């Protein structure tokens, strides 16, 4: 393990960070046992940023009847009424919701399409969803739409996993894990921007897998060069507003991200995803699926770039 105080390296150029603005956030819910945790995280963040909270449920109907015959319109209406009643009950039972400007949207639609449309129509900056963790990330709070959410949306997605523990200050200790190639720049802006805004602690982690060091097609691995690459992702004045640490670990990324999050008492993990990358509902043992499944804090997933 290599640790480095982020302020001790002098490397240029650096990545500048813009302020994080969350005027509208979406909580995507399905009224499962995970939903209260999603709402807790959503109201906490909305209060921190004075955001408008939009609570969304895609009321996908059950199919009744023989063969492929469609459900009667009356059944659709009853199911929609039930979903609206569940939404009212949820909003009425959510603590601290009275302090947040909010609205709800319940509609028959594909869950991923509905969330994407709401994000577009309301210019949403963050979507918050839950993962049950039963099969990696195949089952988000919206159903089996992990790829639909994480790949389609231009805004980041905050995933509340099955081991989530309440934290009333989710930005006090942020862990940002990066491969320094495909998942760095935009995710780094969010990680460092949140650390600056809340005067928190930022730990940047790069995991070196044994296969990387043995790959003849890769340049010779250098810890110094790697630390310099990590430093370039941080704004030069970060130490004025937050504390920062650089860590290089050796081994399996998923295991070491979880280990480091515990060692640093992380209250938020930030991960980037590459464009066109394979997501966990196609690869249940991937790093992202493992982190979401095992982390005790939310995981902020940031696309490499805007669409």
Q: What is the pLDDT of residue 214?
A: 53
Residue 159 pLDDT: 92
Q: What pLDDT score does 109 carry? A: 86
Q: How far apart are the first and last CA of the chain?
A: 36
Which CATH entry fits the domain spanning 24-160: 3.40.50.1820, 2.60.40.10, 3.40.50.620, 3.40.50.12710? 3.40.50.620
pLDDT, position 98: 92
For 223, the token pair is: 């810890």
- pLDDT number for residue 211: 66
pLDDT of residue 2: 72
Q: Mean pLDDT in each 10-residue stretch from start to end of the chain (307 residues)? A: 62 52 94 92 95 93 55 75 95 94 93 92 95 56 56 87 90 94 83 93 92 56 87 88 94 95 97 64 64 93 72
pLDDT score at 131:
83
Is residue 247 a contact partner of residue 205, using CB atoms and an 8 Å limit? yes
Percentage of the chain lying above the pLDDT 70 cut: 77
Ranges of CATH 3.40.50.620 domains, the chain = 2-19+166-303, 24-160
Which residue, among 178, 189, 107, has the nearest Cα to 156 in the 3D structure?
A: 189
Residue among 185, 146, 192, 152 nearest 292 (CA): 146
Q: Which pLDDT tens digit goes with each residue over 120-170?
A: 999 999 999 988 765 544 445 444 455 567 767 889 999 998 999 988 899
Per CATH, the architecture of 2-19+166-303 is what?
A: 3-Layer(aba) Sandwich (3.40)
pLDDT of residue 111: 85
Give the pLDDT of residue 287.
86
Q: Which two tokens stand for residue 19?
A: 């302020």
């Amino acid at each position: 393990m290599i640790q480095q105080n982020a302020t001790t390296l002098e490397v240029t150029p650096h990545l500048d960070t813009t302020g994080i603005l969350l005027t509208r956030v979406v909580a995507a819910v399905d009224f499962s046992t995970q939903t209260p945790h999603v709402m807790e995280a959503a109201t906490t963040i909305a209060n921190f940023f004075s955001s408008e909270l939009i609570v969304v449920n895609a009321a996908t109907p059950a199919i009744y009847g023989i063969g492929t015959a469609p459900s009667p319109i009356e059944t659709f209406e009853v199911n929609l009424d039930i979903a609206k009643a569940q939404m009212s009950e949820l909003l009425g039972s959510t603590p601290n919701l009275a302090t947040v400007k909010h609205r709800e949207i319940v509609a028959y639609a594909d869950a991923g399409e509905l969330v994407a449309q709401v994000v577009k129509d309301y210019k949403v900056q963050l979507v918050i969803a839950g993962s049950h963790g039963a099969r990696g990330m195949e089952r988000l709070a919206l159903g089996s739409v992990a790829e639909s959410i994480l790949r389609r949306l231009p805004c980041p997605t905050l995933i509340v996993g099955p081991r989530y523990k309440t934290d009333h200050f989710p930005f006090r200790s942020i862990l940002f894990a990066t491969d320094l190639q495909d998942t760095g720049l935009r995710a780094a802006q969010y990680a460092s921007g949140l650390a600056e805004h809340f005067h928190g602690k930022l730990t940047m982690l790069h995991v070196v897998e044994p296969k990387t060091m043995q790959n003849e097609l890769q340049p010779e691995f250098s810890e110094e060069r790697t630390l310099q690459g990590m430093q370039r992702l941080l704004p030069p004045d970060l130490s004025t507003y937050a504390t920062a640490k650089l860590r290089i670990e050796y081994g399996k990324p998923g295991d070491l991200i979880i280990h480091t999050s515990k060692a640093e008492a992380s209250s938020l993990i930030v991960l980037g995803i590459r464009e066109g990358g394979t997501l966990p509902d196609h690869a249940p043992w991937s790093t992202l699926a493992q982190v979401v499944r095992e982390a005790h804090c939310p995981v902020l997933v940031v696309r490499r770039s805007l669409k």
